[in-house]
Amino acid sequence: MSKNGETTGKNAAPLRVGITGGIGSGKTTVCRIFEQLEIPVYYADERARVLMTEDGALVEKIKRLFGQQAYFEDGTLDRKYIGNIVFQDKPKLERLNSIVHPAVFEDVERWHQKHLNAPYTLKEAALLFESGSYKNLEKIITVFAPTGIRIERVMLRDGVTSREVESRILKQWPDEKKMELADFVIVNDGKRLLVPQVLEVHKSLLALNRSA
Ligand code: ATP
């Protein structure tokens, strides 16, 4: 609060909020609702995929690590080829992350500069905690859905088997740990309505931003 009683939050940089949750928990679905409230959302996983094809310096680093075969002739990334390698080679996965994460970090910083007038921004990422990037965020929302529902939703969405979804779930932190570290939890179990929960979190974040 300034001397004349006005809040200082208006001139400060927008509050940086992260949103995460296990595979198929409904992060993207929840983010679409925040977008309806005119909150800018940075989809980190999707952006990482774009950068791995469009960021020339990053593409060169990936080729040095995996060879020219990492890319198809049309310049798109051979995700299956890379996926097969890093699935069995953890140090290589770490090296891949160590070149992709800084590129995403720079991209997200540029993105933030374009949204300085937003009340707050959202960064959506599946591995927000696992990657450590939650440390650069001021508040965290975890979207929770029971495992069985997540498996069904992802099987339907991606046309994959339950075994494939389960193996991806095993690579992520357990929901309990994510919920413990979160400032807000949104339950997407198909019973509780999403919109009222999003509005509640939105109201709290606006209040926090005003009192910053
Ligand atoms: P991922 O981690 O794989 O990116 P996600 O957490 O972003 O997944 P979504 O893509 O939002 O999850 O949701 C997974 C699937 O479940 C989508 O097909 C979505 O339409 C569907 N879904 C999400 N929430 C609900 C709901 N409440 N009711 C019905 N379907 C839902």
| Six-digit token string for 122 | 């959202």
| CATH number for the domain harbouring residue 92 | 3.40.50.300
Residue 200 banded pLDDT, cuts 50, 70, 90: very high
What does DSSP assign to residue 191? S
Residue 211 banded pLDDT, cuts 50, 70, 90: low
Of the candidates 30, 48, 47, the one whose C-alpha atom is nearest the C-alpha of residue 39 is 30
What does DSSP assign to residue 14? P
What does the pLDDT read at residue 47?
95
Whether residue 169 is contained in a domain is answered as yes
Residue where one domain finishes, among candidates 114, 134, 162 = 114
Query: Can you name the residues that pair with 141 across neighbouring β-strands?
Result: 19, 184
Q: Return the residue whose CA atom lies nearest to atom 11 of ligand 1.
A: 26
pLDDT per residue over 98-146, tens digit each?
A: 999 899 999 999 999 999 999 999 999 999 998 888 999 999 999 999 9
What does the pLDDT read at residue 137?
95
Full residue range of the structural domain in which residue 57 is found: 46-114
CA 187 to chain centre: 17
| Amino acid identity at 61 | K
Show the beta-strand stretches assigned E in 31-170.
41-43, 120-124, 139-144
Task: Output the average pLDDT for the chain.
Answer: 92
Q: How far is the CA of 13 from the centre of ligand 1 (A)?
A: 31
Number of domains in the chain: 2
What does the pLDDT read at residue 192?
97
pLDDT per residue over 41-78, tens digit each?
A: 999 999 999 999 999 999 999 999 999 999 999 999 99
CB neighbourhood size of 136 (10 A) = 13
Mutate to test the pocket of ligand 1, among 25, 29, 41, 141 (most ligand atoms within 8 A of CB): 29
* Predicted TM-score (pTM) of this structure: 0.89
Residue where one domain finishes, among candidates 88, 114, 140 = 114
